[in-house]
Amino acid sequence: MKRHNNAEKISSILLAIVIIAVFITLIMSYPFKKSSKVCFENNTCFKAEISDTEEERQSGLMFRDFLKENKAMLFIFQTEAIYPFWMKNTFIPIDIIWISEENKVVHIEKNALPCKKENCDSINPEVKALYVLEINAGLAEKYGILEQDNVTISSHNN
């Protein structure tokens, strides 16, 4: 009887060790989101989730229903070009800020509203940008972010 209890205890301990090892492996392999600190010349800063792959840029803030005031989404492109945006499946109104390769604000689209139609219009500033920053609607005005403002983008991971 005693041997049977010891075998059960050892089996339970081994099972617990395996479960903990699997859990640790999963946590260590979790793809943490890349982030960046984006600051404007008036010292207003946002912690921005980076979207720098085609898949990430296509989804952006789609299907999210909340964005903290100090958070943002930063789209990083390979080359400076004209990048239209749309609000399909985006549930929160946002300000969209296009930033040039020289780290200057080149266009601000204020209060872009969610699109509830199947075919959504694109927002096209017709200016070249390397970055596009999405923040909650009204924050560009609240914090005095203006076209031609200098921007500092500091990349780092969480």
Q: Give residue 66's identity as a one-letter amino acid code.
A: F
Give whole-number Cα distances, 101 to 64, 93, 104, 117, in Å.
28, 26, 7, 33
Distance, in Å, from the CA atom of 95 to the CA atom of 147, rounded to the nearest integer, reads 13
Two tokens, residue 86? 């749309």
For residue 2, pLDDT beyond 80: no
Q: What's the pTM value of the predicted model, to 2 decimals?
A: 0.76
**Model pLDDT for residues 7-54, shown as the tens digit of each residue:** 778 877 877 676 776 555 444 433 446 889 999 999 999 999 998 888
Report pLDDT digits (tens) over 98-128. Answer: 999 999 999 999 999 998 888 888 999 999 9
- Within 60-126, strands assigned E span 71-82, 85-86, 94-99, 105-112, 122-123
The type of residue at 138 is: G
Q: Confidence band (pLDDT; 50, 70, 90) for 86?
A: confident
pLDDT at 30: 39
**What's the rounded Cα separation, in Å, for the pair 80 and 92?**
27
**Average pLDDT estimate for 64-86:** 92
Q: What percentage of the chain carries pLDDT values higher than 90?
A: 55
The pLDDT value given to residue 33: 63
SS3 (DSSP) at 33: coil
- Per the DSSP assignment, residues forming a β-bridge with 136 are 94
- What pLDDT does 145 receive? 97
pLDDT at res. 28:
43
Q: In this structure, which amino acid lies at residue 117?
A: K
